[in-house]
Chains A and B, each alone.
Chain A
Amino acid sequence: MLSSSDLTALLLTLQLALLSTVILLLIGTPLAWFLARTSWRYKFILEAMIALPLVLPPTVLGFYLLLLLGANGPLGSMMQAFGAQPLAFSFSGLLVGSVFYSLPFVIQPLQDTFSNIGSRPFEVAATLRASPLDRFFSIALPLARPGFLTASVLGFAHTIGEFGVVLMIGGNIPGETQVLSIAIYEHVETLEYTKAHILSGGLLLLSFSLLLVIYALNGRFKVVRI
Chain B
Amino acid sequence: MKIRAAFNIQRNIPLNFQFDIDAQGITAVFGKSGCGKTSLLRALAGLEKHSGAFLKVGEDIWQEDEFFVPAHQRPLAYVFQEASLFPHLNVRGNIEYGLKRMQQDDSKIPLEQIIELMELDLLLDRKTDYLSGGEQQRVGIARALAVNPNILLMDEPLSSLDQARKDELIPYINSLNRELNIPIIYVTHSNEEIARLADQLIFIEDQGIKAAGAMDQLLTHADLSLSHRPQAESIISAVTSTYDEVFHLNQLNSALGPFLVPGDALPQGKPIRLRLAAQDVSLSLNVPKDSSILNILPAVVKNVQDENLAQATVFLDMNGHTVLARITRKSVNRLQLEAGKKVYAQIKSVAVLA
Contact = CB atoms under 8 A, between A and B. Distances in A.
B238 interface: no
Contacts, number: 60
Contacts of A123: 47, 71, 78, 80
A142 B98 CA distance: 17
Given A127-B45, A127-B77, A120 B84 contact: yes
A124 B86 contact: yes
Interface in B92-120: 97-98, 101-102
Interface in A100-128: 120-121, 123-128
B86 A129 contact: no
Contacts of B102: 129
Q: Report whether over half of chain A's contact residues are helix, strand or loop; otherwise say mixed.
A: helix
Nearest to A138: B97
Nearest to A117: B87
Contacts of A121: 84, 86
Interface residues of B, number: 24
B256 to A, nearest CB: 41
B147 interface: yes
Contacts of B87: 143
Given A123-B47, A123-B71, A143-B87, A128 B76 contact: no
Interface residues of A, number: 18
Nearest to B45: A127
A60 to B, nearest CB: 42
B288 interface: no
A143 B85 CA distance: 12
A126 B72 contact: yes
A45 B253 CA distance: 71
B189 to A, nearest CB: 20
B70 interface: yes
Contacts of B144: 127-128
A129 B101 contact: yes
A68 interface: no
Nearest to B46: A126
Contact of A126 (B47, B82, B86): B47
B101 A127 contact: no
A132 B82 CA distance: 22
Nearest to A131: B72
Nearest to A135: B72
Contacts of A142: 88
In the A-B complex, the 5 residue pairs with the closest CB atoms: A128-B98, A127-B78, A129-B101, A126-B71, A142-B88
8 contacts: A124-B84, A124-B86, A125-B86, A127-B76, A127-B77, A128-B101, A134-B101, A139-B86
